[in-house]
Chain A
Amino acid sequence: MAVKITSENFETEIIESELLVLADFYTDGCVPCKRLSPILSEIETEYDGVLKIVKINAGVSDELAEKYDIFAAPTVVFFRDGKEIDRFTGLKNKTEIIEKIVELGGSPNSIEE
């Protein structure tokens, strides 16, 4: 299950992560966010060991939303080595998200044996 992020664990879970991180900024009441959630759960299972998926309630952790200039939900931000490397806004299907992950070097083949 995706780790819930607040400013308390942001540093350890995202900035210090050795894996590619997909951070899902969502808000309560946002139906597209709810639709994205099960898609990300499937991807999390399939990309275990390659990708870390975390969830940030932007309505609660508004300082994180402000810091990363998030103005729309859902917004998905990708981090590698503690830095933002890409993002998209709005609901996307599983294929589109996987294409983005692969583009960012998060192929399942990159799992070390």
Chain B
Amino acid sequence: MILEISKNLPKTFAQKMETKMPNKSYDTIIIGGGPAGISASLYIARAGKSVLLFAKDNGALEKAEKVDNFFGQSEPISGNALIKKGREHAVRLGVFILETEVVAISEEDNVFTVNGSYTAKSVVIATGKSRSKPNIKGLSEFEGKGVSFCAICDGAFFKNKTVIVIGEGEYAKSEAKYLSAISAKIITLSSKEIAEIYGDKRVRGIKLKDGSDITADGIFIAEGSASALNFADKLGIETKDGNIVTDKNGRTGIDGLYACGDCTGGLLQIAKAVGEGAVVGELIVDSVKLKVNVSA
């Protein structure tokens, strides 16, 4: 769904956005429409680069009734209002915002592909604080022994077998769809239904809270939205204590892939997220300039 433009925006602009469809190729794709992602987008767009920003929701700020510690707000402002202002700012500078969940990301030859359709040479992960793993007995014990967090990585091990996808949202549907081409049977469940994952040296099945039992060869965890950790798993970037590891400028271990904001840990504050977004944005702009100069 394309971002619904505020009625307060100039009519000509709103009209323009209503009919505009996203391109398929951008200089930068940003995953996350919170303070970090928006901040990065402002710097990149102001440098004349094309930016596609995926903003599924307002993240942690959705529940912030009053923000009273962010620069420039003379009166307390709600998290939702602050995000709305930030996104309007980004759109005014030419950032294209899609209110779509990112469910897939891959990289080949230094080009990133998001949701199978959109490509960019740089990607910023700014998805906010990662969710913790579902609290299911046996999950950690069988990680790598039939419990997986990445269908594209591990689906091949369950060819013509029975797998369970844990999750109910778009991300779970996307993982199930991928597995449907490989596995014989796919069962989708909510973690709330599951009492325990069991097995021996490998997963053998799950026990449900109602006392029933489902035998399965593999279990794919895809609860809620795809988080920074899911992207890290899919791309092979380093994480620590549930956060993406970056250098001080937001670089991950992969060229062209950056992370900023709450998903990198530390102080979970708007000001810190905005600052990190700015650093990443500037770095991307500089790296593009460098590449142009080198190839010239």
Contacts and interface: CB of A to CB of B under 8 A. Distances in A.
B146 interface: yes
Given A31-B234, A32-B235, A35-B254, A71 B144 contact: yes
B144 A31 contact: no
A39 to B, nearest CB: 11
A3 B201 CA distance: 29
Interface string A50-74: 0000000011001001000111110
Given A31-B107, A31-B236, A71-B148, A58 B157 contact: yes
Contact of A27 (B145, B153, B254): B153
A9 to B, nearest CB: 20
A32 B159 contact: no
Contacts of B146: 71
B234 to A, nearest CB: 6
Interface string B102-124: 00001110000000000000000
Interface in A16-31: 27-31
B196 interface: no
Contacts of B236: 31-36, 91
Interface residues of A, number: 24
A89 B107 CA distance: 21
A30 B152 contact: yes
Interface residues of B, number: 26
A75 B234 CA distance: 15
A31 B106 contact: yes
Interface in B212-239: 218, 233-236, 238
Contact of B153 (A62, A65, A69, A73): A73
B156 interface: yes
Given A69-B202, A71-B218, A89-B144, A31 B235 contact: yes
Contacts, number: 69
Contacts of B150: 30
B154 A71 contact: yes
Contact of A72 (B106, B107, B153): B153
B156 A59 contact: yes
Nearest to B160: A62
A90 interface: yes
B235 A65 contact: no
Contacts of B202: 69, 71
A20 to B, nearest CB: 22
Given A31-B234, A31-B236, A89-B144, A73 B107 contact: no
A74 to B, nearest CB: 8
Contacts of A65: 156-157
Given A69-B202, A72-B148, A90-B144, A28 B156 contact: yes
B7 to A, nearest CB: 42
A29 B153 contact: yes
Interface string B123-156: 0000000000000000000001110101011111
B152 A72 contact: no
- Give the residue among A69, A71, A73, A93 with the most B Cβ atoms within 10 A: A71
B153 A32 contact: yes
A75 B157 CA distance: 12
Nearest to A91: B236
A31 B150 CA distance: 11
Nearest to A62: B159
In the complex, the 4 A-B pairs of residues with the closest C-beta atoms, listed nearest first:
A32-B236, A59-B156, A30-B153, A89-B144
9 contacts: A30-B154, A32-B236, A34-B108, A58-B156, A59-B159, A70-B157, A71-B144, A71-B202, A73-B156
